[in-house]
Amino acid sequence: MMKLASYNMRKGVGTDRRRDPARTLQVLREIDADVIALQEADRRFGAREMVITAHLLAEHSDWKAVPLAMRERSMGWHGNALLVRKSAEIVGCGAIHLPALEPRGAVVADVRIGAELVRVVGMHLDLSGLWRRKQAHAILAHLDAAPDRPPTVMMGDLNNWSAASGCLRDFGRRFAFAQTGPSFHARHPVGRLDRIMVSNELRVADCGVHASAAARKASDHLPIWAVVERDAPPSA
């Protein structure tokens, strides 16, 4: 059993328009997940520096960043980053290049926590429905091309408002969605833009939206979380 979380941290800029990475880290500590997918983890322009510095992460958290950065001062790929427990083993990781008009990408890592190995995909999809579907197909094709298929979790800001159409329908053919609830806008959440999806080897035991006082200020998205476990095999 492991706890997962996904958070569009908005580059550490809260609804009060202040950039406060320590506050973002406080929200993550409140959730206390084993694996975290972050979106907008790096600044957008210039050197695209990480918002939560390596020192802050090392000294004030129980996580380490999966080494996905393509730039020296970044944490992730196009703002997508993965954090795992310091005790976790990172078996492998990489970037998934997505078709897009604006910079978009997804990241993937195989992580062993205790005896369990899970493949984790973090993503931040396009605002355009047409490009979201192309990006969903690229992610699924990447998973299909892998020589092995461990239990898989996909998480991120999908930017899709309707559960019955678009990329959600594409993902839903093969993955089950955690029913976490609306996470956007943080002050008055009505949109289920952030999603956690699991392959059929896994079962969602519990899930929700983290709506603490700090989370309502730290970003325009609320973080979502899910507790997952291996699904029991059918009895003989």
Enclosing domain of residue 90: 2-230
In a domain, 188, yes or no: yes
Residue 78, SS3?
coil
Instruction: Give the separation between CA 142 and CA 65, rounded to whole angstroms.
Output: 22
In a domain, 104, yes or no: yes
Q: Minimal CA–CA distance to 8: which of 120, 155, 175?
A: 155
List pLDDT tens digits, range 92-130.
999 999 998 777 889 999 999 999 999 999 999 999 989
Contact (Cβ atoms closer than 8 angstroms) between residue 80 and residue 37? yes
Residue 157, SS3?
strand
In a domain, 179, yes or no: yes
List pLDDT tens digits, range 55-79.
999 999 999 999 986 777 788 888 9
Contact (Cβ atoms closer than 8 angstroms) between residue 215 and residue 233? no
pLDDT of residue 234 exceeding 50, the answer is no
Contact (Cβ atoms closer than 8 angstroms) between residue 144 and residue 195? no
Q: Minimal CA–CA distance to 6: which of 44, 41, 58?
A: 41
Proportion of the chain above pLDDT 70, given as a percent: 96
Instruction: Give the separation between CA 75 and CA 54, rounded to whole angstroms.
Output: 8
Instruction: Give the separation between CA 46 and CA 29, rounded to whole angstroms.
Output: 29
Which DSSP state fits 73? T
In a domain, 7, yes or no: yes
Q: Total structural domains in the chain?
A: 1
pLDDT grade, residue 236 (50/70/90)? very low
Please give the mean pLDDT across all residues of the chain.
93
What's the pLDDT score for residue 232?
67
What's the pLDDT score for residue 46?
61
Proportion of the chain above pLDDT 90, given as a percent: 82
Question: What CATH code is carried by the domain that includes residue 140?
Answer: 3.60.10.10
In a domain, 235, yes or no: no
pTM of the predicted model as reported, rounded to 2 decimal places? 0.94
Instruction: Give the separation between CA 145 and CA 187, rounded to whole angstroms.
Output: 41
Q: Facing residues of 19 across strands?
A: 13
Phi, psi of 210 (to 5 degrees): -90, 110
pLDDT of residue 168 exceeding 90, the answer is yes
Contact (Cβ atoms closer than 8 angstroms) between residue 175 and residue 149? no
In a domain, 125, yes or no: yes
In a domain, 51, yes or no: yes
At 100, list the tokens. Answer: 């897009």
What's the pLDDT score for residue 91?
97
Residue 3, SS3?
strand
In a domain, 81, yes or no: yes
Q: For residue 88, how many other CB atoms are within 10 A of its CB?
A: 21
pLDDT of residue 231 exceeding 90, the answer is no
